[in-house]
Chains A and B, each alone.
Chain A
């Protein structure tokens, strides 16, 4: 069956450094891929998405890279700030709009 998983459960970075969060997926039918951020005690919040026909998309301080050859997705956060500390999920919804989320990576930003 389809699965979406993350390589690392935790990531700790120094404030100001760049962060890279990785995600592997198995559902080749996904038209797009999404990153969500979940702060403690809150629901997930949409960060950025990328369509399957793209390999890179940039937002404000964030960049998502998609490598369909190896079914790998990454989220890059530039100049990581304490407010970026959260759990980050990738999601790869199949055509039916049924979202599949990975287990998440907990990002901790050290001052």
Chain B
């Protein structure tokens, strides 16, 4: 594909349910980032994958959040026992390891 893709584009779930968000980075990009963006706010860093190195998980807000990445391809962000404050747009970005990141369109998560 030409860019970063994310699925689903929208997700509505009930409080307490688990959700899984998917990110397909640009082919060949070694770095992958997840961000959370609440309505009207900036980007909140969640987690960063770089090649085969251990991921930087310093931005994950709680142990309900986890992310995996298969090699240098697809990544999934999992939120367990969702809470209403988890409602946000979750953005994924990839890069070649430099500082220009290419963002996907995001997944809008609504927790009822």
The answer on a CB contact under 8 Å between A45 and B42 is no
Cβ distance B8 to chain A, nearest Cβ, rounded Å: 15
**What 1/0 flags go to B1-45 for Cβ under 8 Å of A?**
000100000000000000000000000000101010000011101
**CA A62 to CA B66, docked complex, whole Å:** 38
**What 1/0 flags go to A69-111 for Cβ under 8 Å of B?**
0000000000000000000010001001111111110000000
Q: Which B residues lie within 8 Å of A103 (CB)? A: 41-42
Q: Do A98 and B105 contact each other (CB < 8 Å), given the known contacts A43-B93, A44-B91, A93-B99?
A: no
Cβ distance A45 to chain B, nearest Cβ, rounded Å: 7
Mark out the residues of chain A between 20 and 78 whose CB falls within 8 Å of any chain B CB in the assembled complex. 32, 34, 41-46, 49
Q: Is the interface of A mostly helix, strand, loop or mixed?
A: loop
Q: Which B residues lie within 8 Å of A102 (CB)? A: 42
Please tell me which one of the listed residues B41, B48, B102, B104 contacts residue A98 in the complex, with CB atoms under 8 A apart: B48
Known: A42-B106, A101-B35. 17 other contacts (CB 8 A): A34-B99, A43-B4, A43-B93, A44-B43, A44-B103, A45-B103, A46-B100, A89-B42, A93-B99, A96-B56, A97-B31, A97-B48, A97-B99, A98-B45, A100-B45, A101-B45, A104-B41
B-side residues, CB < 8 A to A, are 4, 31, 33, 35, 41-43, 45, 48, 50, 56, 58-59, 91, 93, 99-106
